[in-house]
Amino acid sequence: MSFMPVILWSDALVFLLLLSGIACAWYVRRHEHLLLPWRRVAQSATAMVSLLVLSLFLLAGLLDTLHYQVALPEKNGGETVYSPEVLSVFDKLLTPLRTHTEKTYSAPLAVTLYTKESISDVHGNVLREYPRLRYGGAQLADIQQQGNDVLRRGLSGALAGLAAGLLIALGARRRLAKRGWPLRALLIATLLISAIIGMFIDLATSYHVLGTDKVGQDVLYLSLKSIRTGLIIGTVTTLVTLPLALLLGIAAGYFRGWIDDVIQYIYTVLSSIPSVLLIAAAVLMMQVTIDTHPQWFNNSASRADLRLVFLCLILGVTSWTGLCRLLRGETLKLREMEYIQAAQSFGVSSLRILTRHIMPNVMHIVLISLVMDFSALVLAEAVLSYVGVGVDPSMISFGTMINAARLEMGREPMVWWALASAFGFMLVLVLAANLFADAVRDAFDPRLNRTEVAA
Amino acid sequence: MGDILNVSGLVTQLRNGARIVDDISFSIKAGETYALLGESGCGKSMTALSLLRLLPDGVVRTSGKAQLDGVDMFDLHEREMRAVRGGTAAMIFQEPGLSLNPVMTVGAQIAEVLELHQGMRGALVRQRSVELLGKVGIPDAARRVTEYPLQLSGGMKQRVMIAMALAGQPKLLIADEPTTALDVTTQAQVLQLLRDTQSANGMSLLLITHDLGVVAEMAHQVGVMYAGQIVEQASRTQLLARPLHPYTQKLIAALPDQRRRNQPLAAIPGSVPPLGSVMQGCRFAARCDQAWSLCSEKMPDWAILDNGQGVRCHLYQDRGTLTGEKVNALKGQDDATSDSTPHRESIILQVSDLRVHFPIRTGILQRVVGQVKAVDGVSLDIPQGRTLALVGESGCGKTTLGKALLQLIPPTAGHVQFSGHELIGLAGGELRTKRAAMQMVFQDPYASLNPKMRVAEILEEGMTALNIERDSAARQAHIDTLLDQVGLAHSFKWRYPHEFSGGQRQRIAIARALAVSPQLLICDEPTSALDVSVQAQILNLLKSLQEKLNLSYLFITHNLAVVEYLAHEVCVMYLGRIVERGTAAEVLGMPRHPYTQALLSAVPRIAGQGVERIRLEGDLPSPANPPQGCHFAPRCAHTKDICRAGYPPATKLSSTHIVHCYLYGEG
């Protein structure tokens, strides 16, 4: 076998999330009344367009989750030896981006480096000049042609993308129309997105579309790789936060008395400790543990990955208090509602009241604050990376990108593209998530969705 | 005297073009009261807000004229309009608790008006504020000026609102449901105050209300509104003696009353069409039993009869001819038939000396410094198949009592025996099964149904919890029967509660309680959030269910008219204790306790003109600190020395009639 699949801890969690997502979808599909609100989601143009964008991000993240090790050509006594480098399917697809590293900074679509260097020419004279890039625009004989070449490739790529988008749209149109999905919005979005992707692909084969960073890595590659880290921090942390906040919050609000006191003390204490301090302490302790047990890991990727998972856990433990407080307050209000008292007088058990009556009625708060937290978490990761307790420095993330670009904002001429790309990708991701969550919330609010006018 | 307000052709629309106030014209003479009567959602408040140009976003006045004291209000600049609001025309709102700013003292809020509209400054403002508060009957006005709204009771707040309105010396006072949120005795005080100030200042009053009793007491002229239109306009005497429009007739006939005890109320089927739905023809046609084909095709024109009574109905299009059979649904009522002989059925619920005390805690250590005696030694029995009404003002502990019976609030002491089993002290599964046959119907149908559950799920819940009909098909069949019983279609099963009107929601709530086949329903003000016509539907339903299923009701209410209609026995509660109990005929016909007498006389009645009123001074004392001796002594007109000494013992007036008052003791 020329490769061996590797499943890292975070991969396992992602697969778990994916499986539970599929199971939920399967369950919903079989129940008409549960399917109904999702049908309404499907009819909203904003929701579907943001879902389209979101699913592209998810696709990138998932492809990046399928890890493997390549077999090395030489064998060790008949046993296949695998490369210590762990790659993902996404890496494989982006091989040119990954391998085409320059010497140092270069601007987007540039053909030369960003800084002058001393070059000795054929005659032995030393000149201060912008040296040509090793890969970016290497096919050009003359730098002057760069403008025309970029335009030509951009246009042809966009046209190819458009054509592909049209094919997809034509193929899917019938099925979409049959279900009453917003055809025009989806069509426009598909064409636009495929044109942009086509343009990027065509340009990326011979240029660094978003420039390169300090060590010459392609910024587009870094941004694409950061997606997985961002998604994992956003979702796995939520996985930790949600049960804590939801259970403790509604239990505190519903039971009152000593349960409320205990839970309130816990989260008051927890939120009065500066969270960065707590995280820093926990991460540093873990770092020491990892460093003293090198035998646990057979490659650097699994070390970095464990650190990521641990960071998610620690972020989750420190960030559930806000949502918990919110849910406690809402539950305090809900428990006085008469339908709760009606249920109590039937003798419905407390657990059932919590799950059947209170939980569905706080879900809108949960959904909105989770999506809000998602962007906050991605940003928190950047802050923590700055302090030095974020993800492993070898792991590519928006945080490390921003952190690396931070210092370069002050120099003249400014290196802006790394920060701008991280910003742009995060913006699109968080905005799409926000818009989608908003549409979902609206679709699930029965007050906004009358199935029929009451008789 | 001339007209102070003259409105003609007022139209107010939603952005989508729906007319929520549709071509309204009326005029108010100086010193007179004009009442706009109608159920909720008829556009009454929108009419008032249109006049003051205070319409919410998305609602615009599109045509019409309104002359206030000779000035056309719709031509004024917004700056001039501000001088009119609070100056020439003042407004008071329904919820006094919400219309006063909680962080400003009462005096500061009155001063605001004085400074703005009277140009007063300094000490004069304070002096005038005290004067105004004294005028609206607030005792110790000089001290009250410096207090915050939360230190005042609901009735006091409404008085402060009136004082604020009077501060600008308005010629027209617009009162939007001024007493709906208040108790009957407080309502009587506030209405009296409005009448007094009106006669003292010669002010005109535009009274917006849904309560026919209030109209009968206050109004000179009445306009009946339905779905954005005035459907009938007449003087009070004309309207009450001979209502013309079928809607008005029905509205009057739907009022519960002692005389209608043994017959169903004339409920109007359906409910008011939602504001903004576009309508063709007569808007009442769908609910009218005298409608014919023309009614749904053509909107009737405004017709004025010979006696000056105006009506919008096809029945009267041929001007002025009144045929006997078309009018007056009120006639032909049976006289009060005496109650059938007292049932000697088994007692289903027996409560003795029930107490619910809430400790007042202060400080870090949560030391108990006192007790709020919400329910303080209540004993009552409810026989099978009978209705016991528990009457009292808000804050007297009646709702707490209801919940304590169900053990939703743990009682402090006493006994609750339900069909022979003691409930107090039980817990868990045992309580669940013993209590199953006692269920509650709540006041607010909007808060008592979980918005995220469908009707079938709501009805199913009790069955699941109590293991009734485990088989799912049998359960669905049971749900269908329940829906039949409360008069809802089977197709409603899979809908969410918000798709229903208030009356339908209350039916669902009743069905939910019936799902576990209870013997006793505790109804906590089940109709107070509903309109009169819908209230009649629900009362009819409760009555027929009682006949069919032999249910017992504990009916908690402050609405005496409902009690007269429905109850077999009545308990009057004051400050956590029952002051008088007996059969409905005894308590309502011959009230003995001064409080019961005051309560009964405070109810505004259509036919109640000339009845002498017993005015209660002050408000309900705090149950944390009840007065010495008889709780009612400080407000009672017949107080003797003995009343302040100790709580009066029970005096038996007949085998069923018991009163706690020294007036009827041996001494």
Alpha-carbon gap: B662 to the closest alpha carbon of chain A (Å): 39
Region A24-40 average pLDDT: 85
Contact B500 A349 (CB under 8 A): no
Strand bridging mode B229-235 / B413-418: unpaired
pLDDT at A400 over 90: no
Find the length of chain A: 455
Alpha-carbon gap: B433 to the closest alpha carbon of chain A (Å): 8
Among B455, B499, B510, B554, the strongest candidate for a mutation testing the A interface, having the largest count of A CBs within 10 A, is B499
Region B473-486 average pLDDT: 89
What pLDDT, on a 0 to 100 scale, did the predictor assign at position A449? 60
What's the gap between Cα A153 and its chain centre?
Answer: 29
Region B501-530 average pLDDT: 88
Number of alpha carbons in the 13 Å side-chain half-sphere of residue A326: 19
Region A228-255 average pLDDT: 90
pLDDT at B332 over 50: no
pLDDT at A142 over 90: no
CATH code for the structural domain at B347-660: 3.40.50.300
- Chain B partners of A356 at a C-beta cutoff of 8 Å? 450, 453, 461
- Comparing CB atoms, the residue among B495, B498, B504 nearest residue A447 is B498
What pLDDT, on a 0 to 100 scale, did the predictor assign at position B589? 85
pLDDT at B667 over 80: no
What pLDDT, on a 0 to 100 scale, did the predictor assign at position B322? 47
- Comparing CB atoms, the residue among A338, A446, A447 nearest residue B448 is A338
Weakest-pLDDT range from A125-129, B49-53, B127-131, B275-279: B275-279
Looking at chain B, the whole-number percentage of residues with pLDDT higher than 90 is 9
pLDDT at B533 over 60: yes
Give the chain A residue nearest B269 (alpha carbons): A455
pLDDT band of residue B1 (cuts 50, 70, 90) is low
Residue in the block written with tokens 């007319």: B19
What pLDDT, on a 0 to 100 scale, did the predictor assign at position A264? 93
Region B470-494 average pLDDT: 87
Contact A339 B447 (CB under 8 A): yes
| Spatial CB neighbours of B48, under 8 Å, sequence gap ≥ 6 | B36, B91, B174, B176, B206, B208
What pLDDT, on a 0 to 100 scale, did the predictor assign at position B279? 67
What pLDDT, on a 0 to 100 scale, did the predictor assign at position B35? 93
- Chain A partners of B435 at a C-beta cutoff of 8 Å? 345, 347
* DSSP output for B179-195: TTTS-HHHHHHHHHHHH
pLDDT at A452 over 80: no
Region A229-250 average pLDDT: 90
pLDDT at B388 over 90: yes
- Chain B partners of A33 at a C-beta cutoff of 8 Å? 454, 494
Contact B448 A446 (CB under 8 A): no
Number of alpha carbons in the 13 Å side-chain half-sphere of residue A318: 20
Q: For CA atoms A81, A84, A88, A94, give the dihedral sign.
A: negative
* DSSP output for A122-141: TTS-EEEE-PBPSSTTTT-S
Region B204-227 average pLDDT: 89
- Chain A partners of B499 at a C-beta cutoff of 8 Å? 450-454
Residue in the block written with tokens 């559930």: A320
pLDDT at B621 over 90: no
Give the chain B residue nearest A334 (alpha carbons): B447
Region B534-550 average pLDDT: 89
Say if residues B94 and B180 touch (Cβ distance below 8 Å).
yes
Note the pTM of the prediction, 2 decimals: 0.79
Q: Round the average pLDDT of chain B to a whole number and report it.
A: 83
Weakest-pLDDT range from A241-245, A402-406, B412-416: A402-406
Q: What digits encode the pLDDT tens for the residues A352-388?
A: 899 989 998 888 888 888 877 887 887 788 788 877 7
- Chain B partners of A342 at a C-beta cutoff of 8 Å? 440, 442, 448, 509, 512-513
pLDDT at B331 over 50: no
Q: What's the CA gap between B444 and B270, in Å, rounded?
A: 19
**Helix residue ranges, H only, A30-65:** 32-43, 45-63
What is the predicted ipTM?
A: 0.75
What pLDDT, on a 0 to 100 scale, did the predictor assign at position A222? 92
- Parse chain B into domains and list their residue ranges: 242-270+277-333, 347-660
Q: How many CB atoms lie within 10 A of CB A370?
A: 20
DSSP classification of residue A295: G
pLDDT band of residue B285 (cuts 50, 70, 90) is confident
What pLDDT, on a 0 to 100 scale, did the predictor assign at position B334? 40
Contact A356 B512 (CB under 8 A): no
Residue in the block written with tokens 């931070």: A406
Contact residues of B toward A, CB < 8 A: 403, 406, 408, 429, 431-433, 435-436, 438-440, 442-444, 447-454, 458, 461-462, 464-466, 489, 494-501, 504, 509, 512-513, 516
pLDDT at A246 over 90: yes
What pLDDT, on a 0 to 100 scale, did the predictor assign at position B333? 38
What pLDDT, on a 0 to 100 scale, did the predictor assign at position A453? 36
Number of alpha carbons in the 13 Å side-chain half-sphere of residue A176: 19
Say if residues B348 and B270 touch (Cβ distance below 8 Å).
no
Contact A338 B447 (CB under 8 A): yes
What pLDDT, on a 0 to 100 scale, did the predictor assign at position B278? 58
Region B75-99 average pLDDT: 86
Side chain identity at residue A367, one-letter code: L
Region A191-219 average pLDDT: 89
Region B168-189 average pLDDT: 85
Region A123-135 average pLDDT: 83
Among A331, A345, A447, A452, the strongest candidate for a mutation testing the B interface, having the largest count of B CBs within 10 A, is A345
Q: How many CB atoms lie within 10 A of CB B284?
A: 25
